[in-house]
Chains A and B, each alone.
Chain A
Amino acid sequence: MTVLKSQPVIHNEINLKARTSNNQKGWIKKVQASRQLYWFVLPAFLIFLIFSYIPMYGIVIAFKDYVPALGIWGSPWVGFKHFQRFFDSYYFADLLKNTLGISVYSLIVGFPLPIILALALNEIKDGPFKKFTQTVTYAPNFISVVVMVGMVISFLSPSTGMINHLLEFMGFDRIAFMTDPKWFKTVYVLSGVWQGTGWSSVIYLAALSGVDTQLHEAAVVDGASRLQRIWHINLPTIRPTMVILLIMSVGSIMSVGYEKILLMQNPLNLEASNVISTFVYQQGLLDAQYSYATAVGLFNSVINAILLISVNKIASKIGESSLF
């Protein structure tokens, strides 16, 4: 060190060295200073490690013939056999068609409605009516999926359901909604809209509360009508939120949740209600074809990831907000 010090040419280097050694000490110091806080995160860390990261490792069975006795590592590798079998299978086209059909239908009907509801709620004065409307429209979100499907089945029952009584009263024929594959998507999507629209509007209302009042005042001076102000002020304000939510919806277009579909499914509507996630459940858990079902699930996740990344890229390319 002393030798080096006498040579001014490499003075910078010394400083650099001194700093790194200092940094190393600082690193230990910082860990020591927050050592108690590590105990705070330990339980959550372990939960994620065990229940999220270990299953990620379990994905390798998609490329193996999993035999429980041999364990995940000991089972023989088979490459893409399970994927090949899935692509060649008789169900593949139907599963893909149903999954995408339900998602796209949900997206087209379900995406704009919360925005419209939020814009409409935002226009009216704070008061009992607004509060009541919000309370009521948010409420269905807290109904469990089992009760929700129970309601749908009861209301749509061909013999005793209220919707069918209404149809008959208006002079139409009764419809067997739950057993007719033609109706499955519509029933699924519209019941989802009934349950979720109110709660989804909360996020847009939060974004709308950030609109600058001065913009509205200036627009009124310029003679803008309410509709024009909504179009030119409110809508652009919530646009980043809309884009983010759209990216997330498109990124999960291949994952139709199994919970609700599984409950709505019956042998008569299977033609329309068999989607990838319920297929994974049925093949994997009911028929114990673990490797095959994991491969199907992995295929699904990979498509989702590709969609998410590409939509996100497009959004940031055209100057919209993006996830990452």
Chain B
Amino acid sequence: MNNRLIKDTPLDKLFMKFNYVFLLLALVIVLYPLIYIVSASISDPNAVNSGQMFLFPKGLTFEGYKTILNNDSIWRGYLNTIFYTVLGTSINLAVTLPCAYALSRSDFYGHKFITSFMLVTMFIGGGLIPSYLLIKNLHMLNTVWALVLPGAASIYNIVVTRTFFQSTIPREMEEAAIIDGCNDFMLFFKIILPLSTPIIAVMALFYGVGHWNSFFSALIYLSDKTMYPLQMVLREILVLQDMSSNSINGNMTQDMAAMLFSKQQLVQVIKYGVMIVSTLPVIIIYPFLQKYFVKGMMVGSLKG
């Protein structure tokens, strides 16, 4: 990166060759399983199970996807997850952005105390059981609130957003707006937010992917299967199904068991298809937003 003007010696050239081989190896190791999953999900089940399919699809078939799309649990899980993700992310943003903005203002009396009050939770916490008992005592078990409220504010994301505000919003502009008669609310909604689309995008994505991928809150707080998010449905297909074949009770829904056991041949192909279907939204947005993700990570690491 910084050595373009510098001429390489023969030894350096050899080193660079090794370097490229190393990176190529890393690339193949990461990429191969991903390609394999895509290929396996549209290949002939026999070719997949017997290992004849190792890179490109063999005996193209969409049987697996057909089964997946006809499954009610998966659809319901998908819809639940979309609902939880949209609601959860909206709450996250509504809590994080104003808080981070207030903390970015050096004239905000008490910002140091409030920051430490929140930072403490990064190192000290009640742990699993006291948190569970709290949710139980608040009667939030089996409600969507158990999934979206406990993690509504992440101190890491608040610090990242605060750093963004500090480094991009000119102090003079805020002062000018206040002299012109703006109060803090108008200032925030009319001036600060429109200038902050990059950080809003980063936060929406950090939180959104978190909600999309989370299963543990649902595992401990939800017992009503109709409320299960997609990841819990996936757990039944990808993990419990395998275990029940290892002879323990898979506590899975009946139509799930029926789907998998009636199509023994297809099971592996269905599994690979399910991985694709569930990860698709993230895969689609990721390449476009990668630079924002990385930027968010970097802002955080500078101040972290």
Residues of A within 8 A of B (CB): 27, 30-31, 33-34, 36-41, 43-45, 47-48, 50-59, 61, 66, 72, 117, 120-126, 129, 132-140, 142-147, 149-151, 153-155, 157, 159-160, 162, 165, 168-169, 178-179, 194, 197-199, 202-203, 206-207, 209, 211, 213, 216-217, 220, 225-227, 229, 241, 244, 258-259, 263, 266-268, 277, 280-281, 284-285, 290, 293-294, 297-298, 301, 305, 308
Contacts and interface: CB of A to CB of B under 8 A. Distances in A.
Contacts of A139: 30, 34, 283, 286
A154 B102 contact: no
Contact of B238 (A147, A209, A267): A147
A59 B19 contact: no
B301 A133 contact: no
A59 B134 CA distance: 11
B23 interface: yes
A150 B234 contact: yes
A123 B12 CA distance: 11
A61 B128 CA distance: 13
Nearest to A293: B129
A198 B102 contact: no
Interface of B: 1-6, 8-9, 11-12, 15-16, 19-20, 22-23, 26-27, 29-31, 33-34, 36-37, 48-51, 54, 94-96, 98-99, 101-103, 105, 107-110, 114, 117-118, 121, 123-134, 149-153, 155, 158, 183-185, 188, 209, 212-216, 220, 231, 234-235, 237-239, 242-243, 246, 248, 268, 271-272, 274-275, 278-279, 282-283, 286-287, 290, 293-294, 297-298, 301-302, 304
Given A120-B23, A142-B209, A294-B129, A56 B16 contact: no
Contact of A305 (B102, B123, B279): B123
A231 to B, nearest CB: 12
Given A124-B20, A135-B287, A206 B30 contact: no
Given A117-B26, A198-B30, A213-B2, A48 B239 contact: no
20 contacts: A33-B109, A43-B95, A45-B99, A45-B117, A47-B153, A48-B155, A54-B130, A61-B133, A137-B30, A139-B34, A145-B213, A150-B275, A151-B37, A162-B36, A179-B246, A226-B15, A241-B301, A267-B248, A277-B128, A285-B220
Among the interface residues B48, B54, B297, which one has the most CB atoms of the partner chain A within 10 A?
B297
Contacts of B214: 144
Contact of A41 (B15, B99, B132): B99
Contacts of B125: 52, 55-56, 301
A242 B285 CA distance: 31
B16 A225 contact: no
A129 B184 CA distance: 47
A154 B268 contact: yes
B245 to A, nearest CB: 10
Contacts of B134: 50-51, 54-55, 58
Given A137-B27, A297-B127, A267 B246 contact: yes
Given A136-B30, A225-B15, A226-B3, 5 more contacts: A153-B239, A154-B268, A194-B30, A199-B297, A213-B2
A30 B109 contact: yes
A140 B302 CA distance: 24
A275 to B, nearest CB: 13
B185 A48 contact: no
A40 B99 contact: yes
A263 B158 contact: no
B128 A285 contact: yes
Contact of A147 (B9, B150, B158, B275): B275
A280 B239 contact: no
A51 B131 contact: yes
A297 B129 contact: yes
A56 B133 CA distance: 12
B248 A266 contact: yes
A177 B271 CA distance: 19
Given A137-B27, A226-B12, A162 B51 contact: yes
A259 B26 CA distance: 26
A154 B105 contact: no
A154 B271 CA distance: 8
A140 B29 CA distance: 11
Given A123-B16, A225-B15, A43 B99 contact: yes
Contact of B239 (A47, A57, A143, A149): A149
A202 B238 contact: no
B302 to A, nearest CB: 7
A47 B149 contact: yes
Contacts of A297: 127-129
B89 to A, nearest CB: 15
Given A137-B27, A144-B212, A263-B235, A120 B130 contact: no
A66 B48 CA distance: 52
Contacts of B108: 34, 37
A66 B37 CA distance: 48
Given A34-B108, A290-B129, A293-B128, A160 B99 contact: no
B211 to A, nearest CB: 11
B19 A290 contact: no
Contact of A120 (B22, B158, B283): B22
Given A36-B183, A225-B12, A290-B133, A48 B128 contact: no
